[in-house]
Amino acid sequence: MERIPAPRLNGEYVTIYHPQGDVYQGRETTHFTPGTHYETWVANDFSLIKHHDSYHMIGITHPKPPQFIDEFNPGEGDCHEAEEVLFHATAKGNTFADLLKDGAFTDQAKLLYPQERPDEVPFIHAPHLTKAKNGRIRMIYGPKYIRLAETDDFVNFERRTLFIDGDTARDPFLFEEDGVFTVIYAVENRVDYRQSTDLVHFTEARTLQINPFGNEDGILAASESPFLFKHDGFYYLMWAIYDGRLGVYDHRTFIFGARTLEGLANSAPLTMLPAHAGEIYEDESGIYLLSAYHPQNGISAVELKFEYR
């Protein structure tokens, strides 16, 4: 049995992005009216990429519903009301270490309100950003309809559907290696995947991993926000659990490791880290874990160290 180094937090979280007040331009909902300014917005699943000399962060956002106190007291009704638009925040720095300071990212104009994509369902969830070989930015997102949007300027997006995979498919992530694209995504208590060489034709869905967790009420514990990365020759898969026990922005994120993708299927977690909708970013300055809402509303980051335990 090969030993695999496991990540640990190397320091304390720093909240690098604080959502600012803004005028809501979405659909009329129970609590939100177009053209109205709302001071508090909530950030959720997100992604980060460096493009030229700027870092761009894009993720789910919406105004905070009036009944929502915190993740443990969300009130009656939909605490994710109006999750139909994406925040876009930017920062400049030579490396990510330069951005590890409070409020490093600044809000830009919000992206892809429903009226900008009338052919889609209004919800837009869990974007993941990658860069194509031609330099264009790719953004994959859900739910249910796994879609791809490409942009040169983070304003105008060319959108198309990659595939459809049932009502509960969500939180897609795009991983590329040796000319093969692997889209992993959450489906109930599973992480499923499809593969393609051209982002047009995809294999049928296969299961990468099934989580065995539930609770005494028989409620299925969902896997959320899967993220796949490679570090020092090992594949690492991470996802957050949601079973209603640790609020609506659960920050129990499991990390699995293996030499191969197939080896992740039946592996036990290497560790559990405190992050919601966790994202990994690595550059010459180090490797970092980013988290939405935990330890506070916004996006926070902390350096990781890998060690044998």
Q: For the domain that residue 186 is a member of, what is the CATH number?
A: 2.115.10.20
Alpha-carbon distance of 128 to 141, in angstroms, equals 7
pLDDT band at 106 (very low <50, low <70, confident <90, very high): very high
Residue 36: how many CB atoms within 10 A of its CB? Answer: 11
- The pLDDT tens digits of the residues spanning 232-241 come to 999 999 999 9
Q: What is the pLDDT of residue 309?
A: 75
- The pLDDT tens digits of the residues spanning 114-166 come to 999 999 999 999 999 999 999 999 999 999 899 999 999 999 999 999 999 97
- The pLDDT tens digits of the residues spanning 175-224 come to 999 999 999 999 999 999 999 999 999 999 999 999 988 777 777 899 99
Domain hosting 222: range is 6-307
Q: What is the pLDDT of residue 85?
A: 98
The number of distinct structural domains making up the chain is 1
Instruction: Report residue 287 as tokens.
Output: 């490797």
pLDDT exceeds cutoff 80 at 230: yes
Residue 303 within any structural domain of the chain: yes
Q: What is the pLDDT of residue 24?
A: 98
Residue 1 within any structural domain of the chain: no
Give the angle 276-2-253 at the CA atoms, nearest 5°: 5
Residue 55 within any structural domain of the chain: yes
Residue 259 within any structural domain of the chain: yes
Reported in sequence order, the residue ranges of 31-105 that DSSP labels E, i.e. its strands, are 36-38, 41-51, 54-63, 85-92
